[in-house]
Amino acid sequence: METFPGKLKFYSDKIKKGCQQWRSFFVSANFNNNPNLLCTIAGINNSVKHYLKIIGIVIGIKILYFVFAISISSYVKNIGLSFNFQSYVSTVKSNDSYWYEAITYGGYSKITDKKDLGYHTNTINKQSEWAFFPAYPLIIRETKDLFNSDFNKSGIFWAIIFSILAFIGFYIWMNKSDNALFCTLVFMCFPFHYYFSMLYTEALFFSCIIFSFIAVRSKKLWLLSILLIPLTLLRPNGIVLILPLYLYFLEQEKVFEGYRLIWKRIDKRIILKSFAFITAPIAFILYGLYQQHMTGEFFAFILAQAGWNRSFTFPLFSLFNGGDFTTQFFSIYTILFFVIGIISWKRLPLSINIMIWMMLLLPLFSGSMLSMPRFISIIFPFSIIIGTWMYKIKLKYVFLSILFALQLVSYYFWLTGSSMGY
């Protein structure tokens, strides 16, 4: 039997040999004379730490939502919660979530009478699932079937995954900035941004948006082509985001410099690369043909908006078009971001400005102020602008805490089923 000193010598020799191998590696890599390599490794480690922080904070915020909901449940009517899964479901599932659930289980119904798509009168209104796009319920349905689960479990699973991806994507977009992590925290904590954790499309839709921009910046056009498909099939305004994305592509290729288009730089290479964007109109046309087949209307999703009392209106006429508190508050909230957009115009590239104003104005064409904070939540440049300004303040984390407190206040309206939470 081998003695203890013999074993000790054996392991000592192994350790020495390992140290010599690592020393040889460091010498051959010339770390001491290669500061760029050291900076790269340090940067990677720092990014990984920040990714882990973001994941931890995202999960922590979700826990805080639930704790907050339970803490107020005994003081609010119709909210009876306890520490169980069903109670948690009730805190993340509301309003449009039930439409997505219906589509997940039943798909889209065949329409023979155009009125069944949706209408609204003074006394009654008819709503239909055709107002909602198919990508989100399709993902939930496939997950549900694959794992023999249900809508709630599958939806919560993807809410966690896509909210993490959304915030990490935001951080990656800003990764070269000193305030990248802080601006990401602002994006997480901003009022009404709890939607990224709900059984809604916000987290998935934003993930597709931000990673599409990142794909263009990193010249991974194959990835862009893939992302444009769910982006187009998640929401009606997904297809129009092709314009700012394509402008951003032209800016990256130096075809646009500032606000000036340089025609002579549009060559065969640019034209061929532009075909990466073709997946979006193809997906949109195919879905339109499906709507035509099922309802007789290529743009059935537009006609279905009538069920929510939405109709074509000049955008500015939507502001203050009702005397209720929700319309008044949402109008003021929207104007605030109008002001930020105007002030920031000269500091931002054309592509980002176009995206901001398209995302701000398009919902207002419906004549309704409902859900405007939700629509604004995905306009990520606002979080960058506000976060950059806050980062310069000495008490920035105090202001960040105030933002999150206001987010919990806005989340209260979601929990109580108020129109402020739509």
Examine residue 3 and state whether it is found in any structural domain, yes or no. Answer: no
- Report the SS3 class of residue 351: helix
**Which residues have a Cβ under 8 Å from the Cβ of 48 and sit 6 or more positions away?**
none
The 3-state DSSP composition of the chain as helix, strand, coil percent (nearest 5) reads 75, 0, 25
Task: Give the model's confidence band at 354: pLDDT under 50 very low, under 70 low, under 90 confident, else very high.
Answer: very high
pTM: 0.88
pLDDT category, 77, cuts 50, 70, 90? low
Our count of domains for the chain comes to 1
For residue 261, the cross-strand partners are 256
Q: Do residues 304 and 128 touch, judged by C-beta distance below 8 A? A: yes
Asked whether residue 1 is domain-assigned, the answer is no
pLDDT at 7 over 60: no
- Asked if residue 4 belongs to a domain, the reply is no
In a domain, 58, yes or no: yes
Q: In the chain, what percentage of residues exceed pLDDT 90?
A: 75
- Measure the CA–CA gap between 383 and 206, rounded to whole angstroms: 13
Supply the DSSP symbol for 76: S
- The pLDDT score that the predictor gives to residue 43 is 52
Give pLDDT, residue 125. Answer: 84
119-142 pLDDT per residue, tens = 888 778 889 999 999 999 999 999
pLDDT of amino acid 9? 55
| Neighbouring-strand partners of residue 257 | 260
The pLDDT assigned to 30 comes to 47
Contact between 183 and 387 (Cβ < 8 Å): yes
* Residue 65 belongs to a domain: yes
Which structural domain range is residue 327 located in? Answer: 9-421
